[in-house]
């Protein structure tokens, strides 16, 4: 499964593709089961150079109760920096943020949760 | 400190309006990202994970109160109320919007600050001893020379497209607080046998993928010949540096491949061709620049302050602060104060707008209008009267800046890492937070003594991990954060690249591993030995055994 992401040109905000428009929350991102529509969306995004910078596809995978980006870097982009929980998208809270945060915890086996200041 | 003249100010204003125009054209789609990216980078604007990052040059780490207040204002107006001081003694804002960047640069220009040459393959901000003008150890004020280099290297047409970025450090003390040997060029002011002032010139230092400690190519360069000699070094580099391979393009690779002796020989040959009259700074101009750094007038004060002694006896926290963060000044009755941006649990190098304003006020009121930034991500008030130390300590305490841990185990360098940086493999900040919290007990930290932990989120080594007494490098192992430990590095006058301890360990193991390393030190140390000294005596074996014994 894939999602399409970029940074918005004017302010750098992390955005996700959702049926022809850009949304700020991963929870609202369009998920592509197949490569063909994902590629089409990517091509469309690349034709919007005054809206976003460097759009690219990311791997997402099912987690308990939902989906999350696979790469830790992408989870961080969807949440915000772990040293300042009051900055970035995580500051607004919400179900999708909690899911990814939990997924991140689960991916960091070996008690790594401790490292995250919450 | 140095003041811009009308020409400088006019140039900055022009540069801002040029960038404003470029941003407008980019937003309107008149230029592509490929065309725009180099332009924004020339103005210090990077795109990172969550937003744009603006890197502002703080020339040789010197700030006046107006500049600090302006940085606070920018933090409040355009960022999330804070800024991040870096190992290059610059300041980064991590939440910048492209559309605001021209206004920010216009605002910074009001106080002679800008972001020019904070990116790209040019000569970057020069590092100088943060105790310049204040320490009795120094032979001359290194800021004079750093300012000479700044003026010479700014927009220098011959050196604006080097094979790779280029960093210079200047120190004038035996104790090196600039990490001179990790710079492309390190300059150490020394007296020659005849008593004349000159520079020991070290070339080819650098961290990153292939760490090198700079080699001395000239023991004593007459001070007045500095610029022609720098020009000769850069010419040799410009001619032979590996532009074909980014990973081999730094001057350290050239110096290593030619050998320092041969590199030095080529520099001398090049230097011989240069006409000193056209390349070196005239004495009158040097004197003019020197005038801006004229020693501050210090009162004649007793070496001991009864007021301070009384306050110290009554306040153990002040006594601890004095022990760890306050250093001797060249003038009797004064002191140098380290402000550690390292409260355990906080992000190393971060300062809030309120904290910057407090430091600005303190600099103005108690430190002759000067504050400094160190490459260890701390601030310094260079000229504080002993009588004023209790008040300074109180004011710092009120904004959470009185952390009494300068040079101790919790005074950790950490780069932004994967929390912000688009190049990172792993996070650095949470590792620093976790270690600092583990050693938050100040008695324990003081017992351990000087211990420099430095953390980088990738091999680019912005966190100087190679030269940490304990270095920590983030690596990505199948999508998980792992960390490679190095031991025995030093960025000081006894510079050395640390040795890799063993296989990278999982993030969850790092703090325990530091605990293990410290336990070996405490067990093995002999009187008077720092961690580094013990390591150098015993070698890596006992440390390795302690960390990896448990793993197997
Ligand atoms: S060391 Fe790597 S992760 Fe850290 S700031 Fe530098 S480039 Fe980014």
Chain segment B95-131, per-residue pLDDT in tens = 999 999 999 999 999 999 999 999 999 999 999 999 9
Residue B90 near ligand 1, beta carbon < 6 Å: no
ipTM above threshold 0.90: yes
B413-548 and B134-291 share a CATH fold:
yes
Cβ contact A88:A81 at 8 Å: yes
Average pLDDT over chain B, rounded to an integer? 97
**Is residue A117 pLDDT above 70, yes or no?**
no
Q: Give, rounded to a whole angstrom, the gap between the first and last alpha carbons of chain B.
A: 57
* CA-based nearest distance B98→chain A, Å: 5
**Per-domain residue ranges for chain B?**
6-109, 134-291, 306-398, 413-548
Asked if the C-beta of B32 comes within 8 angstroms of chain A's C-beta atoms, the answer is yes
Q: Which of 2.60.40.10, 3.30.360.10, 3.90.480.20, 3.30.2130.10 is the CATH number of B306-398?
A: 3.90.480.20
User: Binning pLDDT at 50, 70 and 90, where does residue A104 land?
Assistant: low
Interval B401-456: pLDDT, tens: 999 999 999 999 999 999 999 999 999 999 999 999 999 999 999 999 999 999 99
User: What is the pTM for the complete model shown?
Assistant: 0.95
Q: Is B349 in the pocket of ligand 1 (CB under 6 A)?
A: no
What's residue B551's pLDDT?
53
pLDDT band at B479 (very low <50, low <70, confident <90, very high): confident
Residues of chain B above pLDDT 90, percent: 97
- CA distance, residue B212 to nearest chain A CA (Å): 30
Residue B128, CA distances (Å) to B89, B142, B168, B284 in order: 9, 6, 9, 23
- Return the CATH superfamily for domain B134-291: Sulfite Reductase Hemoprotein, domain 1 (3.30.413.10)
* Interchain contact, B507 vs A108, CB within 8 Å: yes
A11 touches chain B (CB under 8 A): yes
**Domain range B413-548, CATH class:** alpha beta
Res B550: pLDDT? 58
Whether residue B437 has its Cβ less than 6 Å from ligand 1: no
Mean pLDDT over B132-144 rounds to: 97
In this structure, which topology does domain B6-109 adopt according to CATH? Sulfite Reductase Hemoprotein; domain 2 (3.90.480)
Cα–Cα separations (whole angstroms), residue B371 to B99, B211, B334, B358, B380:
31, 31, 15, 11, 6
pLDDT at A110: 28
With beta carbons less than 8 A apart as the criterion, state whether B125 and B368 touch.
Answer: no
Q: How far apart are CA B19 and CA B13, in angstroms?
A: 10
Does B52 touch chain A if contact means CB atoms closer than 8 Å? Answer: yes
Question: What are B323-370's pLDDT values in tens digits?
Answer: 999 999 999 999 999 999 999 999 999 999 999 999 999 999 999 999
Checking if the pLDDT of B264 tops 50, the result is: yes
At B178-189, the pLDDT tens digits run 999 999 999 999
A64: pLDDT strictly greater than 50: yes
Q: In this structure, are residues B73 and B353 in contact, taking their beta carbons and an 8 Å threshold?
A: yes
């Amino acid at each position: 499964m894939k999602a399409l992401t970029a940074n918005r040109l004017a302010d750098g905000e992390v955005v996700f593709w959702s049926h022809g428009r850009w949304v700020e929350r991963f929870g609202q991102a369009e998920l592509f089961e197949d490569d063909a529509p994902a590629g089409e969306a990517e091509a469309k995004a690349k034709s919007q150079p005054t809206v976003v910078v460097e759009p690219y596809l990311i791997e997402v995978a099912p987690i308990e109760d939902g989906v999350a980006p696979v790469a830790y870097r992408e989870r961080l982009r969807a949440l915000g920096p772990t040293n300042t929980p009051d900055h970035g998208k995580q500051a607004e809270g919400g179900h999708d943020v909690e899911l990814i945060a939990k997924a991140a915890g689960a991916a960091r086996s070996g008690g790594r949760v401790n490292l995250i200041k919450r | 400190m140095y003041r811009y003249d009308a020409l400088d100010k006019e140039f900055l204003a022009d540069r801002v309006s040029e960038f404003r125009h470029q941003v407008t054209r980019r937003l309107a789609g008149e230029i592509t990202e490929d065309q725009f990216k180099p332009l924004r980078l020339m103005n210090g604007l990077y795109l990172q994970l969550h937003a744009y990052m603006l890197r502002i040059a703080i020339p040789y780490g010197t700030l006046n109160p107006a500049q600090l207040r302006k940085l606070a204002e920018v933090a409040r107006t355009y960022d999330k109320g804070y800024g991040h001081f870096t190992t290059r003694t610059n300041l980064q804002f991590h939440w910048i919007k492209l559309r605001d960047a021209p206004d920010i640069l216009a605002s910074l220009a009001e106080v002679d600050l800008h972001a020019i040459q904070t990116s790209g393959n040019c000569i970057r901000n020069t590092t100088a001893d943060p105790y310049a003008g204040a320490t009795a150890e120094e032979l001359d004020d290194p800021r004079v020379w750093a300012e000479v280099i700044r003026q010479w290297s700014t927009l220098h047409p011959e050196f604006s497209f080097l094979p790779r970025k280029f960093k210079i450090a200047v120190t004038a003390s035996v104790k090196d607080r600039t990490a001179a040997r990790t710079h492309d060029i390190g300059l150490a002011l020394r007296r020659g046998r005849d008593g004349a002032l000159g520079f020991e010139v070290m070339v080819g230092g650098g961290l990153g993928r292939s760490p090198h400690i700079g080699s001395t190519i000239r023991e004593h360069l007459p001070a007045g010949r500095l610029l022609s000699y720098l020009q000769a070094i850069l010419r040799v580099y410009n001619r032979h540096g590996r532009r074909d391979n980014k990973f081999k393009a730094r001057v350290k690779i050239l110096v290593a491949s030619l050998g320092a002796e041969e590199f030095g020989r080529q520099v001398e040959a090049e230097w011989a061709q240069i006409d000193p009259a056209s390349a070196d700074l005239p004495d009158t101009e040097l004197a003019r620049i020197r005038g801006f750094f004229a020693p501050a007038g210090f009162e004649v004060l007793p070496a001991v302050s009864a007021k301070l002694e009384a306050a110290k006896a009554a306040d153990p926290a002040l006594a601890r602060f004095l022990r760890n963060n306050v250093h001797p000044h060249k003038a009797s009755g004064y002191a140098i104060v380290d402000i550690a941006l390292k409260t355990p649990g906080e992000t190393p190098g971060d300062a809030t707008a309120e904290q910057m304003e407090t430091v600005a006020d303190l600099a103005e009121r108690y430190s002759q209008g000067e504050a400094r930034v160190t490459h260890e991500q701390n601030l310094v008030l260079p000229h504080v009267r002993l009588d004023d130390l209790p008040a300074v300590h109180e004011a710092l305490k009120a904004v959470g800046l009185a952390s009494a841990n300068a040079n101790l185990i919790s005074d950790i360098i950490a780069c932004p890492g994967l929390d912000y940086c688009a190049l990172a493999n792993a996070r650095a900040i949470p590792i620093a937070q976790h270690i600092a919290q583990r050693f938050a007990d100040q008695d324990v930290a003081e017992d351990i003594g000087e211990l420099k932990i430095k953390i980088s989120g990738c091999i680019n080594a912005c966190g100087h991990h190679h030269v940490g007494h304990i270095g920590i490098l983030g690596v990505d192992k199948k999508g998980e954060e792992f960390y490679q430990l190095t031991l025995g590095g030093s960025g000081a006058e006894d510079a050395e690249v640390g040795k890799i301890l063993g296989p990278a360990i999982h993030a969850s193991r790092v703090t325990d591993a530091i605990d293990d390393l410290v336990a070996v030190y405490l067990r093995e140390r002999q009187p008077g030995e720092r961690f580094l000294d013990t390591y150098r005596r015993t070698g890596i074996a006992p440390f390795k055994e302690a960390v990896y014994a448990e793993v197997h």
